[in-house]
Every structure is written in C-alpha cells, then in structure tokens.
Chains A and B, each alone.
Chain A
Amino acid sequence: MTQRLTNLAIGLIPVILALLFTTLILLIVGAPPGEAYRNIVQGALESPDKWASVVTATVPLLLCSAGLLITFAAGLWNIGVEGQIVAGALLTTWLALNLTLPSILFIPLLLMAGLVGGALWGLLVGWLKVYGGVHEIFGGVGLNFIAIVLTNYLIFGPWKPAGRATMSGTEPFPAEAWLPRLGNLAVYPIAVILALVAIALVYLALRGTTWGLKLKAIGNNQRSAFLMGIPTHQYMMGAFLLCGALAGLAGSIQAIGVRQRLIPGISGGYGFLSLLVVLLAGYRPLWVIPIALFFAAVGVGSPRLELNMQLDSALGGTLQGLVVLFVLLAQGVKKRDA
C-alpha cells in the first residue's frame, strides 16, 4: 500500500511542480494563471470540433511514439524521427501530385508511400550508424535538416503551384487523395485506427515476442547480445526501418489528411514531441496513449491564449517541457536514492 502511495506521489509531484512553475511564469508576465489554464482547457475541449482536433493531433504522436518505442528498446536515440515524418510526406506528395487514381486505390498507395519514404530515411540513419560509425543522434539531426531543406526546395522549385511560389505550400492534392473525414469533423477514422493498431502491435511485439526481447537485449548490452549470437546489426537496421516507416506514415497522414497538400514544416514538430511523450511514458506503450492525448490537448488549447489573452501560445509547449523535465527529475532522484 505504501509502495502504491509513493509511486502515485512520484507520478503526481512532477505534474504539480510543472503547473507551479508555469504559474510562476504567468505571474511574472502579469497574466492571471487561472484564466490562462481555463483558456487552454476550453480551447481543447469546448466543442466537438476541438475534440476532433485533439484526436487528430494525437494520431502522429501515437505513430511516432510507436516507432520510437522500437528504437528506444534497441537502445537507439532516433532523433531523426522528425526527418522521417517529412520523408514520408515527401514521397506521398510526389505520388499525389503526379498520379490520379480512384480513392479506394489511391489512399492506400499514398499511405504506403509514406511508410516507404519514412523507412528509407530511417534506414539511412541506421546505415550511417551501423556501417559508417556515425552516432544516430548526429545522423538524425543532419538528416532532419536535409529533409526540411529538401521540402522547401521542392515547394519553391519543382512542386510550386502554377506561376507562384509561396510559404503556403504546394497546390492542393486532387480530391481522390484526401483522407476521408468523419462527417463534418476534422477527424480521420483510418488514421486513428492505424495509430491505435500501431501502438497495440508494438506493445505485443515488445512484450511477447522473441524479436522484441532480442531488441531489448541489444538495447541493454549490445556486446553481450552479439556474443549470444543475436545479429545485432540487422536488428538495429530493422528498428530504424520500422520507426521510420511509422513516422513516415504519420507524415503521409499529415499531407493527405490534415493539410491536403505539402507545406513547409509538415512535420509540425510531432517527432520531437513524441520523444517527450515516450520519455514521459517511461517507454511503456500503454502509457503513451493518455500522454499523447494530453500533449495533443495542450497543443490544441494553447493558441487560445494568444487569441484571448495576447499571450504567446508557446506557453503550452513550456508546460509540456516542464512536465517531462520534472518527471525525469523525479525518476532520477528515485533512482539515486534507491
């Protein structure tokens, strides 16, 4: 019982501290904290439209987190997940702008393109690491940058809308490429199902398969795993491939669902945010779902601060960041005292 209580305290104290800190920041800038929090909550939850936005924002977080659970299990810091989202979106866009098929064929093909694009970008990080000796963090950061620059080049160059190039992106995709909505709501049932299936599969794979166990073995001690006869390089490449594929799927959904075109910054920072989600979840797949929902809600609710209170909506990001920092801090303190 006391064990339960301490665990609960370790879970709750960081959240309370994060709220206190955010409150302090609000007080320093002279904004009434109560009103700010009310705005975030209302901004996220006041209407079915908002609910829909929260669910839609949760989808890329879940897909990327599912992928990151795999790479984290193998002990890999796949910072490149952001670039892998973009790569998925790019390959999807290429097909969407150059093909026209009936929706029933087109949409699966475009989603598949997202998987492939992200997987290739992920494999590149893996290849650099395994065969080139480039740490995956550096490889990932480099490839993120290249993906962004490549997007901008394509938007302002080969893929620019007829006659004019703007920050608002490419020409909208043909209607056959659009991911179907749920009635009038900006929610995409196919995307939601794919995201939940991804988390469920990763959960099962890491928990109950020899494949998942071998990944964990590699993540905890690559040398021992190798000496046990596990083909560590193949497994690491596999982890990058799968994580990239899931991130690329998220990118594809952003392109043919939320935006219906390619825009600069198509990844929306969901890759980096997913890293925080997985860290906060302590690498536990089932915890990823509520945490992703929370992050999505804060993200959807925060712009209201700008609208109603002339505060910067980045405050939502500050809150998210603080929660993660305090949770990691609490875990660190617990580990040190143990």
Chain B
Amino acid sequence: MKIELRDIKKYFGPVRANDGITLTVEPGTIHGLLGENGAGKTTLMKVLTGFISADGGEIRVDGKPVHFTSPAESIRYGIGMLHQDPLDFPPLKVLDNLLLAFDNRLIPNRRGARRVLKELSQRFHFSLDPDARVNTLTVGERQQLEILRLLALGAEVIILDEPTTGISAPQKVLLFATLRRLAKEEGKSVIFVSHKLEEVEELCDRVTVLRRGKVTGHLEVPFRADQLVQLMFGQSLPKSERPPVTLGEPVLELQDVTVQTYRLTVPHVSLTVRAGEVIGLAGLEGSGQRLMLQACVGLQKPSSGRVLLGGQDFTRRSYRDFLAAGVAYLPAGRIEEGLIRGLTLTEHYVLAQRDHQPFFIDWAAATNGIQKKINEFNIRGRPDTPVEALSGGNQQRALLSLLPPALKLLALEHPTRGLDIESAMWVWEQLLARRRSGTAILFISADLDELLERSDRIVVFSGGVMAPPHRRGPHLGRGTGVFDRGREAGSVMCDA
C-alpha cells in the first residue's frame, strides 16, 4: 500500500509540530522517520493514524485522498501503529488481548484466536504464551503481541514509534528480522520512527529526516552517517571526554544481598560503590537490575544480606531514611513516578525543599527559587508551567534541577531514555559534575553505548544473577580494550 502525505500541518498553539511535511512511503519498503526529540515524528504518525487531526494538508492511500477521524478508521484502511507505550490491556491474557482486537461476536472465538496466534507466532518465531497475563510480559514481548494484533487486523502499513526503547538486544534482532520479513516477503510497508541513527542505518531502505517540524532531507540506502547527523541537528556533534576522577570512601556496600519477589529472585549480590564512582547496571529488561537498584535505595527489602550506607547498617531502614541519608532515586517514568501531573514547577520546587519546609509556603521565594533553577538548568518552561506541559527532555532537566545539592548516592533508571543527543549529553554533564563532588552514581540503561561510555564499572544481570563487575580504567577512552570488554558485556546481555 502506498501512503502519500502532502503538506501536513499541525500546530499546538505557537508550536509548529508539523510545518508542511510531504513524504511518500512505497509498498514493500522500510521507511525511516528520523529526527531528534520534538522534531514532529510522533505527531505526524498520529495524524496519519487519525489519533489527532491535522490543521492542513492531505493524506492519500494508493492515490485516493482519505480523512481519518479515529485510529479505528485508519486500521480499517490497513494502517496500524505501535505506540511508544504499548496500548494493551495488562491484566488480561495474551489471547484475550488478541480477541479484543478483532472478535466482535458476543461469544468470543477463543479456539480460532488461539490458532491465529499460533500460526502468526510460528511465522515470526515469537514465543508468546497465549495464557500468560500481559503484565507478566517484557516490553519486547508486548510489542510482539501488538504486531500480531495489527497483522490479525489486516494491517498493510505498520508504524513503529521508537520501538527499540526498553527492549533487549536479542529482542531487537528478532524485531528487525520480523520487520524485514514483513516488508520484503509480505509486501507490507513499515514506517520506522526513531531518533537513533544506527538503527535507521541498519534497517531502513529510505529515510526521511525531520527537524523542527520540517523535512530536511530524503535519503536512500546506502546512507552516509555524517549526512544524517547534519540533517538531524544542522551540525556535527563532538564526542564527550571522560575526565579522570579519584574515587573516595565506600558509600554503599551490598553484602551478600538477596532480593526476592514472587516473579524473580536476585541472589547473593555483593558490591561496593565508592564516592564518585559511576556504575552501570546492564542486562535484559526484567533481569533483576531494577530490583537491585531499588534495594540500594531502600525500596526493596532484602530477604537476606546487609545493605550498608556510609558504613551504617540500613538493611531494615525505610526509603525515607535512605532519602534523609543523602540518597536520591530517579525512576524511569518521569511523569508517572518522578513528577506530579497537575502541579506547577514552583509547586515541585516547594515539595523538593525537604530540609526547610515552613508550614506556610512563601510563594514569592519559591517562584524566585525555581526561576533560578529554570535559568541554570535551561528548562523550557515558566514557574507556573504544569509539568505535564514540558517535553520529556525538559522533564528530566526539571527532575535533575530539583535534586538536593549534596548527595551521597544517586540511583537512576534510564537517565537518557527518549532524549535526543544534545539533551542526553547535557544530562551526563550534570551527572558527571555531581560525581566530581563525590556523589556515587548507579544507573540502569538499555543503551550499550551509554553504559560503555559512562560507567567506571558495568555489572550485568541475567535472569536475576549478577555477573562480577567489569572494570574499566577511568583514564581510558573508548579504546579497544574497553570495547572488547563491552562486547563481552554485550554478549552476556545477548545470551540471556
């Protein structure tokens, strides 16, 4: 199916999210849509699938003008979208999720659906258990379920919005194989939305680059990376340097810690984190790194072993005790778990002043305080801006700006997930500035490059088991020795 977008315009107030975008997607191709955060990629795809309506322009399907007013309508035309966050029904079973998609009869046809699920799974080498509940699946598996759902609905065009965030390396390999097969063997069109150069280079036949709501270029394979970078950013970015750091006293010690939940056990972890050290936690999502990170900040109670913070036993202490002792935790869901929708930046500032909270709020002082932070951290917003109106990058800036000034330990989940390169570099500048003042940093990431570039040591989790730390000298850049060790880490990640 051929999709033509002509002069699509979509404005949000003064923001020109899509400012006259024209592009054509040919059948049987994988078409990349590349651009940094806020370039207008997701908006354009939401217009195409009828999720939001355009302010101008025309959509043609196989030459005929169409106008979708809802995603249900676009899927009837065979255009389906995989959203950044899977739109499934977590408490239901895999099979029922599929049934919801296409079975409109009063009594659902479970047997038929089971057969369809089996056939499709086999065709794409997915191993989905029809009777598993969706909330027990990994992000990658939920994605596979979504793809099957769209295929079962008869999708001819499949749009994937940043599909590789949060999935493991082997799941990514499988995803790419699936997409190639859909395009090459089954003649479907795939639109691959991403801000990751390497992925677009690896997968796509053609690519359209967006920048600030406009098309900056269409390219065909083979792509030239520097050209793509220039189209995306308008300039080439230098690689960051790793300044040398002298490590201090141990801040956090895990002594033979075991964490148990009903789903996973992380047994016998021993780890010493020193002041100023950056440790990356790697591994397939759901391999235990998150449980361990949460045990380090008091959100998970170990079933055995000891957690020492600054030499004191904190094993049985509450999360609030950890906070009071100079620990901070930035979760993966910035707006879901970090910030509070509906409250302004000023209100967040007041809540963040943990040490001196007078009963009556001095709003003038708070507004001044947050204004300073806004300037210092270059947040695009005003003191009275509700946090949900900020973009992902600015939400992360806001969260960083609200951290207490002196910290012993900072634990982060996916600190740069979904951020463009510039914002990601900025985030790491902030984090590295903290480590220079003696803060130990523990972070989870699914981005192997980030782990290799930023960590002094990497620990790899696989099925709950932590492999011994991979050490790298702080004086080394991305030299070959480190890179080999990275390969090793990568292979451990892939084996899981």
Query: Is A223 at the interface (CB under 8 A from chain B)?
Result: yes
Contact A221 B341 (CB under 8 A): yes
Query: Is A100 at the interface (CB under 8 A from chain B)?
Result: no
Cα of A172 to Cα of B357 in the assembled complex, Å: 49
Cα of A208 to Cα of B363 in the assembled complex, Å: 8
Contact A208 B323 (CB under 8 A): no
Chain B residue nearest in CB terms to A231 = B320
Q: List chain B residues, Cβ under 8 A from A231.
A: 320
Contact A214 B351 (CB under 8 A): yes
Shortest Cβ distance from residue B265 to the other chain A in the assembled complex, whole angstroms: 24
Contact B357 A210 (CB under 8 A): yes
Query: Is B459 at the interface (CB under 8 A from chain A)?
Result: no
Query: Is B347 at the interface (CB under 8 A from chain A)?
Result: yes
Contact A217 B359 (CB under 8 A): no
Cα of A230 to Cα of B347 in the assembled complex, Å: 14
Shortest Cβ distance from residue B418 to the other chain A in the assembled complex, whole angstroms: 18
Contact A227 B361 (CB under 8 A): no
Query: Is A287 at the interface (CB under 8 A from chain B)?
Result: no
Pick from B323, B329, B358: contact of A210, CB under 8 Å: B358
Contact A213 B329 (CB under 8 A): no
Contact A224 B359 (CB under 8 A): no
Query: Is B198 at the interface (CB under 8 A from chain A)?
Result: no
Pick from A208, A216, A223, A228: contact of B360, CB under 8 Å: A208
Query: Is B108 at the interface (CB under 8 A from chain A)?
Result: no
CB neighbors of B among A205-242 (8 A): 208-211, 213-214, 216-217, 220-221, 223-231
A210-B350, A229-B320 known; A220+B343 contact, CB < 8 A: yes
Contact A225 B360 (CB under 8 A): no
Chain B residue nearest in CB terms to A214 = B351
- Give B156-194 as 1s and 0s: 1 = Cβ < 8 Å from A's Cβ atoms: 000000000000000000000000000000000000000
Chain B residue nearest in CB terms to A212 = B361
Shortest Cβ distance from residue A36 to the other chain B in the assembled complex, whole angstroms: 42
Stretch at the interface among B116-124, B139-147, B330-338, B465-473: B330-338
Cα of A229 to Cα of B363 in the assembled complex, Å: 21
Q: List chain B residues, Cβ under 8 A from A230.
A: 351
Chain B residue nearest in CB terms to A216 = B343
Query: Is B248 at the interface (CB under 8 A from chain A)?
Result: no
A208-B360, A209-B361, A217-B343 known; A227+B351 contact, CB < 8 A: no
Shortest Cβ distance from residue B295 to the other chain A in the assembled complex, whole angstroms: 15
Chain A residue nearest in CB terms to B346 = A213
Cα of A231 to Cα of B354 in the assembled complex, Å: 12
Q: List chain A residues, Cβ under 8 A from B357.
A: 210
Q: List chain B residues, Cβ under 8 A from A228.
A: 340, 351-352
Cα of A230 to Cα of B320 in the assembled complex, Å: 8
Pick from A208, A209, A210, A230 the residue with the most CB of B within 10 Å.
A210
Chain B residue nearest in CB terms to A226 = B319
Q: List chain A residues, Cβ under 8 A from B329.
A: 227
Shortest Cβ distance from residue A216 to the other chain B in the assembled complex, whole angstroms: 7
Pick from B320, B323, B361 the residue with the most CB of A within 10 Å.
B361
Query: Is B342 at the interface (CB under 8 A from chain A)?
Result: yes
Query: Is B339 at the interface (CB under 8 A from chain A)?
Result: yes
Shortest Cβ distance from residue A283 to the other chain B in the assembled complex, whole angstroms: 11
Shortest Cβ distance from residue B292 to the other chain A in the assembled complex, whole angstroms: 17
Shortest Cβ distance from residue B130 to the other chain A in the assembled complex, whole angstroms: 30
Shortest Cβ distance from residue A202 to the other chain B in the assembled complex, whole angstroms: 15
Q: List chain A residues, Cβ under 8 A from B354.
A: 229
Q: List chain B residues, Cβ under 8 A from A209.
A: 359-361
Q: List chain A residues, Cβ under 8 A from B339.
A: 221, 224
Contact B361 A208 (CB under 8 A): yes
Q: List chain A residues, Cβ under 8 A from B338.
A: 224, 227
CB neighbors of A among B53-97 (8 A): none
Q: List chain A residues, Cβ under 8 A from B352.
A: 228
- Give A7-51 as 1s and 0s: 1 = Cβ < 8 Å from B's Cβ atoms: 000000000000000000000000000000000000000000000
Cα of A284 to Cα of B329 in the assembled complex, Å: 34
Contact B320 A225 (CB under 8 A): no
Cα of A216 to Cα of B341 in the assembled complex, Å: 10
Shortest Cβ distance from residue A212 to the other chain B in the assembled complex, whole angstroms: 8
CB neighbors of A among B349-385 (8 A): 350-352, 354, 357-361, 363
Cα of A217 to Cα of B344 in the assembled complex, Å: 11
Shortest Cβ distance from residue B287 to the other chain A in the assembled complex, whole angstroms: 22
Chain A residue nearest in CB terms to B339 = A224
Contact B360 A213 (CB under 8 A): no
CB neighbors of B among A98-145 (8 A): none
Cα of A89 to Cα of B449 in the assembled complex, Å: 67
A208-B360, A208-B361, A224-B336 known; A217+B351 contact, CB < 8 A: yes
Contact A220 B341 (CB under 8 A): yes
Q: List chain A residues, Cβ under 8 A from B340.
A: 217, 220-221, 224-225, 228
Pick from A209, A224, A225 the residue with the most CB of B within 10 Å.
A224
CB neighbors of A among B371-405 (8 A): none
Chain B residue nearest in CB terms to A211 = B359
Cα of A210 to Cα of B470 in the assembled complex, Å: 45
Q: List chain B residues, Cβ under 8 A from A221.
A: 336-337, 339-342
Cα of A227 to Cα of B336 in the assembled complex, Å: 11
Q: List chain A residues, Cβ under 8 A from B363.
A: 208
Shortest Cβ distance from residue B360 to the other chain A in the assembled complex, whole angstroms: 6
Cα of A49 to Cα of B488 in the assembled complex, Å: 87
Chain A residue nearest in CB terms to B323 = A229
Cα of A229 to Cα of B403 in the assembled complex, Å: 12
- Per CB-CB distance, the 4 closest pairs between chain A and chain B, nearest first, are A220-B342, A221-B340, A229-B323, A210-B357
User: Can you show 17 pairs from A to B with CB atoms below 8 A apart?
Assistant: A210-B357, A210-B358, A213-B347, A216-B343, A216-B347, A217-B340, A217-B343, A220-B343, A221-B339, A221-B342, A223-B336, A224-B337, A224-B338, A227-B319, A227-B331, A227-B338, A229-B323
15 more A-B residue pairs beyond the given contacts A210-B350, A216-B342, A229-B323, with a C-beta to C-beta distance below 8 A: A208-B361, A209-B361, A210-B358, A213-B347, A213-B361, A216-B347, A217-B347, A220-B340, A220-B342, A221-B341, A223-B337, A226-B319, A227-B337, A227-B338, A230-B351
